[in-house]
Amino acid sequence: MKIIVNAEPREVTNETLEDALTELEFTSPAVATALNGRFVPREDYSETSLSEGDRLEVLAPMQGG
């Protein structure tokens, strides 16, 4: 299915947020996600279903100084 990830169209085969994040190689435990503008807690990833056209934002902490 086609979804929008961080403003870019992406194709994913998995239907849960948890599996899609792995498929998209967002494997760090320190990421935050929003699906269609709503924050999704990590404990809900495995129960959160994705649909065609969903907008997913994935934020990861950055190092710097």
**pLDDT of the residue at 64:** 66
- How many domains does one find in the chain? 1
- The CATH number of residue 32's host domain is 3.10.20.30
Q: How many Å apart are CA 18 and CA 42, to the nearest integer?
A: 9
Token pair recorded at residue 45 = 């990833």
Specify whether the CB–CB gap between 26 and 60 falls below 8 A. yes
State pLDDT tens for residues 19-57. Answer: 999 999 998 888 999 999 999 999 999 999 999 999 999
For residue 17, what are the β-bridge partners?
Answer: none
Distance separating the N- and C-terminal Cα atoms of the chain: 39
40 is a domain residue: yes
**Torsion of the alpha carbons at 64, 37, 45 and 17, rounded to the nearest 10:** -100
**Domain around 45:** 2-59
